[in-house]
Every structure is written in C-alpha cells, then in structure tokens.
Amino acid sequence: MLYLGVDVHKRSCWVTVLGADGQEVEQRKLSMDRATLIGYFSKVPKPAKLAVEATFNWYYFLNVMEPLGLELHLVHPQKTKAIASARIKHDKLDSRVLARLLHAGFIAEAWIAPQPVRELRQLLRHRTRTVRGATRAKNSAHGVLNREGVEAPIEALFGPKGRAFLEEVKLRDLDRWEGDDQLERLDLLEKQIGELDREIRQRGRAHRAAQALETIPGIGPFIALLLVAESFLAILLTASYSSAVSKLRRPFLSDRYFFITVRLLKRRAKSGEPDSALLARAFNRARALRAFYLTAWVFLPDHWHAICAPTYPVTISLAMKSVKQSSMSAINRRRGAGGELWQPRFFDRSLRTVKEYNEKVEYIHMNPVRSGLVSHPQDWKWSSYNEYAGVSAAEQKSRCGLIIDRVRMPSDPRTRI
C-alpha cells in the first residue's frame, strides 16, 4: 500500500509518496494540466490511498483522479490541525504532512459527493446564482425610481401592468438607459430561470427520493432536489449513490418500526364493532397495496394504535394515508355519512431499541384496560394481545379479521432496531 499526499493549487501541485512502512518514496512537483496528472497518477502502483485538501480546485482534481483506481480521501483543511495551525507552511511540507497523516489514519476526512450529486449541486447552485442576479436587476430598477423620487402605483412592478408603468414613467436620459438595461437583463435571467426550472422538474421526476420529499407540504421540486444534493441526511434517505450508503434504504421514513396513533375527529360518533371490522379490512387492503408490516395494534372507540414497519420505497406517511382513506370511505358508507373521519395528521414515533419496542407493545395491549373498557387485555376483541399470548393466526383471523406479521426481536433490550 502506498500513501500519497497532494497539495493542490491552480497551476501546480506537490506530491509526496510514502511506502507501507511510512518511509518517503518520492516527492515531486507536477503541473495541474490533465495530461500530466493522468500520466503520473495512472502509473502509481495499486493499491494506493491519496489524500487531498478540500481547496478551491479539488473538484477538477478529483474528476481527473476518480477513473484511475486510487482510493481517494478528501481532507477537511480547518480540522486537520497539523496543517491549519502550522507556523511554517509551504506546499512541499503540506503534501508531506498529508501523506503522513493518511498513513497514520489521522486525517479529518470530508465526504466526497459522488458525481451525480455533484452535478445536482452544480445545477441548483447555478439556479441560485441566476435568481440572485434577477433580484439584483429588480433592486437596481427600484433604485432608479427611488433616485427620481417616483413611487410606483402598483405593487407588482415587474408584471404586465408594472412594465407598462415603467415604460411610460418620465425619467432622465441616463436613468432611462439604466432602467431599460436592468429590465433587459431581468428578461434574460427570467428566461434562464425558466429553463433551469424545467431541468430541475425533469430530474426531480426521475429521482425517487425527490418525489417522496415533494409529498411533504411546502416542499417543491427545487427544495426536494436541494435536500437530496446538499443535505447528508437526505443522501442517507436516497441511499442510491454509493455502496457505503446503498444499504441504508431511507432509514428515517422506511424500513424501521413506527408507533402510530390516529384519533377520531371530535365531531364524529365513536366507533363501534362494525366500524372496527371495517378498519381491520382497511388495514388488510392497505397492506396488500402498500408493502408494510403490522406487528401490534389496538382499536378503541375514539382512537387506535399500531406498530408498523413500511418497506422501501413505501413511507410511513403513504402507508397511513392508505389505511385512513380506505377506512374512512368504508365507515362513511356504512353510516350513510360523508366528510373526514380521522384527524388530519397522525402521531408517529420511530422505535430505536428492542426495549422501546417492547414497551410500546405493552402500552398498546394494556390500552383497553387503562381506558376502563375491560378488566383484562385478553377480553378486548380488537387487539393483537391474544396473538402475543399464543392464539393461532387462524383463530385470530376468524375472531377479528386482522392478524399481525410475526417478527423475532433480539434478546438484548439494548439492541438497536
């Protein structure tokens, strides 16, 4: 294994190569042109690790390095104190320090965004800069009016009526020249923003994570892709860019257990046994339509609890939406009523450990007792308690029509799930 430290600048870079024993093998200065970099680094014996600081030119450098088979490490310059706090700093020494820190395993590493993420970032940042340019053009047009003491009679100064006003208002020649230039610049930038928005919408439609994020109220195509491209949390949610995160599969929306509470609207009549039967059927339909596990549940007259685990790409929101809509339609039809049945939102809590999971299962099964409906949990028909107590799935299905998905939890209550 070789360890390479590279100090990158605009026109040149210093390279220090250490052997597996930490001894310096080579140190040299290279030009930053593509042919020189490929010619040198493609001949480096593999396996080899390469560390480079996240300076202004690192995008170009990594684009050249990625196809060459080196193990790349992006170094956080401020957190790498051996370089950031050094009194004596020069390129040759910095490359040597990078190589030694890499060999010792002491580098403060930054995440290298994969190429698809870097392209998304470039697109979104280009739009942001373009919007800022359009805002500057609008502010400059306002400045022209303010300099002449002109007060616009309409609020939307850059709409059709506002444009008509700007064309008719009397200004000095120089102000007219500047104002017209700013409006021409604004027209060009707004056209470019429209083209960028079309590209963003097109990419968003092809991105599953962005589509899921857009289901959240207030999040449109731009913000959805921005979260995917700029937020490491959203990269975990997408889990599609690198082998390191491809196994995580949307850990905050799917593929984990959620404790759910859904309440009846206060103005609606409380649920009886026929309504609970329809709710059980709604769960069965939703599980057939949306892939999610149901591992514990209880239906009460004014609310219900469940532990559900949606499987990617189904989210907990989609799963609960399916249950609520299906049950609302069926219960309203039975009652001869209309309108919303359940409260608009539901409470969900992600269960992180076996201990937390077991506590919620017990809470669910003891709920009818705490509510004063029965004296013992086994006496409440609309619950999964009896399956946990040993009743067979066939007997439970004939009793209430809803059976759980049986899962085996680790014995250690501290185990994360």
Same domain, residue pair 265 and 395: yes
Q: What pLDDT does residue 157 have?
A: 86
Same domain, residue pair 29 and 137: no
- What are the residue ranges in the chain where pLDDT is below 70? 80-90, 231-253
Same domain, residue pair 46 and 60: yes
Helix (H, G, I), strand (E, B) or coil at 2: strand
Q: What pLDDT does residue 302 have?
A: 94
Same domain, residue pair 202 and 320: no
Question: What CATH number should be reported for the domain holding residue 392?
Answer: 3.30.70.1290
Q: What number of other Cβ atoms are within 10 A of residue 195's Cβ?
A: 12
Same domain, residue pair 138 and 82: no
Question: Closest Cα to residue 314, out of 292, 285, 295, 347?
Answer: 292
Q: What one-character-per-residue DSSP string does 353-373 give?
A: BHHHHHHHHHHHHHHHHHTTS
- Is residue 236 a part of any domain in this protein? no
Same domain, residue pair 266 and 390: yes
Q: What pLDDT does residue 27 have?
A: 94
Domain boundary among 69, 92, 110: 110
Same domain, residue pair 267 and 382: yes
The pairing of strands 258-263 and 109-110 is unpaired
Same domain, residue pair 200 and 327: no
Q: What's the domain range around 57?
A: 2-110
Same domain, residue pair 396 and 267: yes
Report pTM.
0.52
Q: What pLDDT does residue 88 have?
A: 52
Q: What pLDDT does residue 208 have?
A: 79
Q: What pLDDT does residue 13 have?
A: 92
pLDDT tens figures, 32-61? 999 999 999 999 999 999 999 888 788 899
- Can you say whether the dihedral through the CA atoms of 277, 282, 285, 287 is positive or negative? negative
Same domain, residue pair 187 and 130: yes
Q: How many domains does the chain have?
A: 3
Could you give the CA distance from residue 178 to residue 170 in angstroms, rounded to a whole number? 13
- Is residue 98 a part of any domain in this protein? yes
Residue keyed to tokens 């870097």: 118
Q: What is the DSSP letter of 387?
A: H
Same domain, residue pair 272 and 388: yes
Same domain, residue pair 347 and 299: yes
Could you give the CA distance from residue 241 to residue 121 in angstroms, rounded to a whole number? 14
Q: What pLDDT does residue 82 have?
A: 58
